[in-house]
Amino acid sequence: MRKDSESPVVTKAARARDGLGALRHVLRRFTTPLLPDDYTQLVNPLWSVRELRGQIVSVSRATEGTVNLVIRPGWGVPVDFEAGQYIGIGVQIDGRYVWRSYSLTCSPRPAGDLLSITVRAVERGKLSNHLVGSAHPGMTVRIGAPAGDFHLTDPIPEKLLFITAGTGITPVISMLRTLADRNQFGDVTLIHSVRTDEDLLFPDVLEELRREHPGFTAIVRVTSREGRLTPETVGEIVPDVTERTAYACGPNEMLDALEAWWSELDTDEELRTERFTLDRSSEATGGEITFGHRGSCHADGATTLLEAAESAGIQLTFGCRMGICQTCVRPLTDGYVHDLRTGDVHGPGERIRTCVCVAAGDVSVDV
Ligand code: FES
């Protein structure tokens, strides 16, 4: 957890974004009263000084209800991501931008190169269902910068174990491709769980990696035939599990079980997990939240500031509600909040994402 007195870490991507921000500001001054985008879009729909954009260049069916999308990143989209990270995708549906994050499935790219993601249609998944049903070459999407802590570490551990289920394989495919691209493929085991044979994503990629890298073992467990994947099964399949750095991505239930099991193992190796949904557990106590002059309410430590405002009848602007698009960012004027996505604590004067921050005591937000 970051201490409040620490200087924020300024990454290469963040510096690049600052530079672009300055350029956007200059362009805005020269093109007022029209917005710069009114001019740039006449030339190229991917040029925008307000937002990051990309254009879908190909759509291919991966499995029933799942598509692979290849996206050309537009001007300013940072492509120096780590293998395993996700990007935000925003698309206008019924007049409102809907956002969701998707793991990148490609290895890190040279600037301007194509990006790829895999999207599965899910119940109540407004954007995912829209993309599976309607994505087409030429379609422009908004892009949120790559983010996420679930990525390969440097140096690469000698022995790796990946445990995935369903679309949880997508960030791991990026990692496997990266290991192959960098000639760093050593002793790697993947245990992947799918409901049926037809649900298996990237069978050709796995087959090619198996062929080309003798140290790679890929075990696919079909749960409709063989039963659910449990930590005990993982222990049976991988006898040297305690010698491996592990990455796991899939449903929360599977990750909870793996984390509990791993904590009991006699190992110094790390298990890193990636969850698809916001984990609302934190040390935040909740408190009285004041929204400028618009009102106040009490919220517990699992209710985000955005949700608290809405329950009090105060409408704040928002986009993705997942900490990606930054539409909901407001200045925190008093008190401390916890960011549920990162675990960071933010204090007075910082700009916070109200959709993923919860109150740690009484707080005031400038709205
Ligand atoms: S609504 Fe998108 S970051 Fe909060």
Q: What is the pLDDT of residues 50-80, one digit of tens each?
A: 578 999 999 999 999 999 999 999 888 777 8
The atom of ligand 1 lying closest to the CA of 320 is 2
Give the Cα separation of 91 and 95 in Å (integer).
10
- Walk along the chain (367 residues) and give the pLDDT tens digit of each residue: 333 232 233 344 444 445 555 555 555 555 555 555 555 555 555 555 557 899 999 999 999 999 999 999 988 877 789 999 988 888 888 877 777 889 999 999 776 689 999 999 987 678 899 999 999 999 999 888 888 889 998 899 999 999 999 999 999 999 999 999 999 999 999 999 999 999 999 999 999 999 999 999 999 999 999 999 999 999 999 999 999 999 999 988 899 999 999 999 999 999 999 876 666 777 899 999 999 999 999 999 989 999 899 888 898 888 777 787 788 999 999 999 999 888 899 999 999 999 999 999 999 999 9
Pocket test for ligand 1, best of 316, 326, 357 (most atoms within 8 A of CB): 326
Quote the ligand 1 centre to 183 CA distance (angstroms).
38
CA 57 to ligand 1 center in whole angstroms? 26
Question: How many whole angstroms from 275 Cα to the centroid of ligand 1?
Answer: 18
Instruction: Measure 92 CA to ligand 1 centroid, in angstroms.
Output: 15
Q: Which domains does the chain have, with CATH numbers?
A: 12-147 (2.40.30.10), 159-274 (3.40.50.80), 287-365 (3.10.20.30)
What's the gap in Å between 97 CA and the centre of ligand 1?
11
Q: Where are the beta strands (DSSP E) in the chain?
A: 53-63, 66-73, 86-93, 96-103, 115-120, 140-147, 159-165, 187-194, 216-222, 245-249, 271-274, 287-291, 296-299, 329-334, 337-339, 345-346, 351-353, 357-359, 363-365
What is the position in ligand 1's atom list of the atom closest to the CA of 321? Answer: 1
**For the segment 125-172, what is each residue's pLDDT rounded down to a tens digit?**
788 999 999 999 999 998 888 888 899 988 999 999 999 999 999 999
Contact 304, 358 (CB under 8 A): yes
Q: Checking DSSP bridges between strand 245-249 and strand 216-222, what pairing results, if any?
A: unpaired
Residue 354 alpha carbon, nearest atom of ligand 1? 4
Give ligand 1 pocket residues (Cβ under 6 A): 99, 318-321, 323-328, 353, 355
Closest approach atom of ligand 1 to CA 353: 4
What is the atom index within ligand 1 of the atom nearest the CA of 319?
1
Burial classification of residue 344, based on how many CB atoms lie within 10 Å of its CB (0-12 exposed, 13-18 middle, 19 or more buried): middle
Nearest ligand 1 atom to the CA of 328 is 4
Q: How far is the CA of 309 from the centre of ligand 1 (A)?
A: 14
Instruction: Compute, in angstroms, the gap from residue 329 CA to the centroid of ligand 1.
Output: 7
* Dist. CA 217–CA 237, nearest whole Å: 11
Position in ligand 1 atom list of the atom nearest CA 99: 2
Contact 193, 221 (CB under 8 A): yes
Q: Give the ligand 1 atom nearest the CA of 323.
A: 3
| C-beta separation of 367 from 316 below 8 A | yes
Beta bridge partners of 221: 193
The CA-atom distances, in angstroms, between 20 and each of 84, 178, 288 are 25, 28, 37
Instruction: State the distance from the centre of ligand 1 to the C-alpha of 18, rounded, in angstroms.
Output: 19
Q: Which residue of 328, 339, 351 sits with most ligand 1 atoms within 8 Å of its CB, as the best mutation to test the pocket? A: 328
Q: Cα of 327 to ligand 1 centre, how many Å?
A: 5
Distance 341 CA to ligand 1 centre (A): 12
